[in-house]
Amino acid sequence: MKALAVYPQQKQFRVIDNHPEPRLDSPSQVRAQMLEVGICGTDKEIVTFEYGDPPEGFDYLVLGHESLAEIVETGSDVTDVVKGDLVVFSVRRPCHDPECIACLSGRQDFCYTGEYQERGIKSRHGFLAAAEDVGAFIWISLSGGPAVGWRAGLPVRFLETAQERRGNSEM
């Protein structure tokens, strides 16, 4: 599928159309359709090759870490979001060091080892990949419940745009 790929070695970035299609690899994952992807200063630095690391086995990194998506499929273990929910996926994913108390307790923004991964930045592909992507086990639901606090932190226009795209006004 199509994706915006950054090639740090070649100092290039371009749209590619052979990025692997997403699929659920575990029952705790969800598949989502990307609705919006923001571009920030971090992305500018990545496309000027100041940093940005492709995942293992790839010579490119798919860009994009600020996302709004709609759930289209859920694994059998997933109970806190359902198809149709709007979500924002977390960017940083925990390291696997058994000594890293931060990552072990779900506080990977305070990772002690530096071995974390970040979607669209460090060792994990980002969200600027055609229509869909797989988001693993960490998300903030915008459709109600525990994520209500986050709605206040997002620009209202951003959410309205998402509502219009979904064609409903229930939020």
| Residue closer to Zn ion (CB basis): 73 or 97 | 97
| Residue closer to Zn ion (CB basis): 74 or 95 | 95
Gap between the Cα atoms of 37 and 88, Å rounded: 10
Gap between the Cα atoms of 108 and 136, Å rounded: 14
| Residue closer to Zn ion (CB basis): 101 or 171 | 101
Output the smallest distance, CB 44 to Zn ion, in A. Answer: 10
> Which one, of 47, 37, 53, lies nearest residue 12 by Cα?
47
* Residues of this chain that bind Zn ion (CB under 5 A): 40, 42, 66, 95, 100, 103, 111, 113
| Residue closer to Zn ion (CB basis): 59 or 109 | 109
The 8-class DSSP code of residue 129 comes to: B
Dihedral sign for Cα 56, 57, 61, 65, please.
Answer: negative
Output the smallest distance, CB 114 to Zn ion, in A. Answer: 8
Contact 156, 62 (CB under 8 A): no
Output the smallest distance, CB 70 to Zn ion, in A. Answer: 21
